Structure 1
Amino acid sequence: MFLGLLLALAAGSLVSMQNIFNTKVNEHTGSWATTTLVLGMGFVASLTIGLLFEGKQMFTLQNMQPWYWISGLIGVGVVICLVQGTKLLGPTYAISIVLTAQLAFALLWDSLGWLGLEQVPFTINKLLGVLVIVGGIVVFKLGGRRESQKSKEASVLGLE
């Protein structure tokens, strides 16, 4: 379990860092060029590392459902949406919404047993957990706005 927690923490930090890098790349190119670069480099890195560690076994894809192949297409949507969302909302706000959406949809899919998942009972505690995170995002966004507005008002009035 401890290793799982460490890996999840690492994944969260890497996703946030990648999102910032992707947004910086997008400032110099377009969204599609950024997506192509990100996923192309990811393909080359994955292929190289996979061949080093697994060799030809990497290409043994037994008993895989055909619809699993759309995962790469989903990745295109993820990169495009993250880059644009970060550009429009800023990294912290965009990532907090993305993570909350991930949690909410994971709860939905787990509870319904969709996409080949084992069905996990839905509980009010799980829903409350998601709502607490949504409340935190609202507090985060609105809390900064009031300070920002006060600072702007003070600046306009010459109080700073």
Structure 2
Amino acid sequence: MRGIIFAFLAGACITLQGVSNARISQDIGTWQAATITQLTGFIMSFLILLFVRDGKWGGLKQVKPLYLIGGAFAAVIIFSEVTAIQQIGVTFTISSLLIAQLCLTFLIDINGWFGMEKRKMRLPQFIGIGLMIVGVVILKF
């Protein structure tokens, strides 16, 4: 249950961040908005780290270098989301974003990429994705 609550929290924050970034970028530019977002995200994470202290820095040596660039994806995410929101609106952007996430996660789960356990997807999962795509098409028109 906690996982679902955190997933909803993350989804809400992604939407709020996208809208905020779109508004900021109208005044100062998209890459400037991405920079401010990354900076404030770093500051917030660092402050939480100072209080929570739940990890261990020694394990950093075991992390594959490829995974350490994960934060760099945020710059592409922010730029793409802001541009999309300005061009097609919040609802269609977030709907499309979710479908893209689900399609990629299907590939990751099916193939066991990034060290994830391979999972079998059955017809109901594919029907669910199809229904989401149909829903987005209906939203668009």
Q: Same fold (TM over 0.5)?
A: yes
Instruction: Give the alignment of 1:6-17 within 5 angstroms.
Output: 6-17=5-16
Structure-2 residue corresponding to 1:88: 87
* Pairing of 1:1-160 with structure 2 (within 5 A): 2-54=1-53, 57=55, 59-60=57-58, 61-142=60-141
Identity score, percent: 27
Larger relative contact order (CA 8 Å, sep ≥ 6):
2
Moved over 6 A (4+): none
| 2: CA distance, partners of 1:58 / 1:40 | 23
Deviation at 1:115, TM superposition (A): 1.5
What are the ranges of 5 or more consecutive residues in structure 1 without an aligned counterpart? 143-160
Deviation at 1:125, TM superposition (A): 1.8
Name the TM-score, length of structure 1 as normaliser. 0.83
Q: Report the CA distance shift for 1:75/1:58 in structure 2 as closer, same or farther (over 3 A).
A: farther
Question: Alpha carbon RMSD of aligned pairs, Å?
Answer: 1.4
Aligned-residue offset at 1:62: 4.3
Q: Which runs of 5+ in 2 are unaligned?
A: none
Given the two structures, how large is their TM-score scaled by the length of structure 2?
A: 0.93
Shift of 1:59: 3.0
- SS of residue in 2 equivalent to 1:23: helix
- Corresponding residue for 1:152? none
Which amino acid in the other structure matches residue 48 of structure 1? L
1:41 positional shift:
0.7
CA distance in 2, matches of 1:6, 1:99: 17
The answer to whether the Cα contact below 8 Å between 1:35 and 1:79 also exists between their aligned partners in 2 is yes
| AA partner of residue 26 (structure 2) | E
User: How many residues are treated as equivalent by the alignment?
Assistant: 140
Write the distance in 2 (CA, Å) between the matches of 1:103 and 1:121: 14
